Amino acid sequence: MNRYVPIAMLAVMGVFAGCTNADYSDDKEASADGDDSKTSAVNGSISVRAGQPATNVETVNGSIKVDDEGAVNNGETVNGSIVLGQRATAKSLETVNGSITLDDGVKVSSDVTTVNGKLTLDKGADVGGRLENVNGTIRLTEAHVGGGIHTTSGDIEIGANSKVEGGIKVEREQMGFHFGKNSVPRVVIGPGAVVDGPLTFQRKVALYVSESAKIGPVTGAEAVKFSGDTPPG
């Protein structure tokens, strides 16, 4: 979570001040230098169309939307959401204040991170790296995460038949700082789900684990087993 400075610097640079709504296919600031190419905006959203070459996509105050079967390298924003359509691909995705949604079949090879926002992975979505936020619900629906899940105050729902490698970690809040709600985070491991790796809780959580789920060792919480599709409450 240490790559926000390059994005924020765009706000100081007047060179992009006129980019109020940059579209990937005809943005005048985009270059074509392989992995170094970039589409940027300060105050505006960026839409990435399917069939276009993948570039790094950055904005400060705006969202990023990738069409079904579209592709980006690194997608970054400060104040805005990121949405990848079905079967879209990316290397990494990062926002500070905004949600990230991966539709069915999306592939992200590295990390997906936000500070204040939800993280949603729909059916068949695959994140090769870490899934991380500070505050906001994390929800997987028949999805896969290869590098573990980290949060501080977010609820976590590992839906039926999802798989998480690298475990789950809920970190304690830093002294003097409180993120989001004050209630106890709720962590649910659904039917047929697998969490391969340790489940480490540095603060109080409500942990519910399906009788048909498989999980690694638990530290800092006591798992409540449940049957059926969802836990009580």
Calculate the average pLDDT of the chain: 86
What pLDDT does 182 receive?
A: 63
What pLDDT does 233 receive?
A: 75
Asked if 104 and 84 touch (Cβ cutoff 8 Å), the reply is no
Cα separation of 71 and 84, whole Å?
Answer: 9
Among the listed residues 164, 158, 154, the one whose alpha carbon sits nearest the alpha carbon of residue 141: 158
Of residues 204 and 20, more confidence is placed in: 204
Please name the residues in contact with 96: beta carbons below 8 A apart, sequence gap of 6 or more. 4, 77, 78, 79, 114, 115, 116
Tokens representing 231 are 């836990």
Please name the residues in contact with 174: beta carbons below 8 A apart, sequence gap of 6 or more. none
Angle at 82 between CA 144 and CA 156, to 5 degrees: 45
What pLDDT does 130 receive?
A: 98
Q: Does the structure show a pLDDT above 80 at 57?
A: yes
What pLDDT does 36 receive?
A: 52
* Tens digit of each residue's pLDDT (9 = 90 or more) over 187-229: 999 999 999 999 999 999 999 999 999 999 999 999 999 999 9
What pLDDT does 181 receive?
A: 53
The model's pTM: 0.84
Asked if 78 and 61 touch (Cβ cutoff 8 Å), the reply is yes
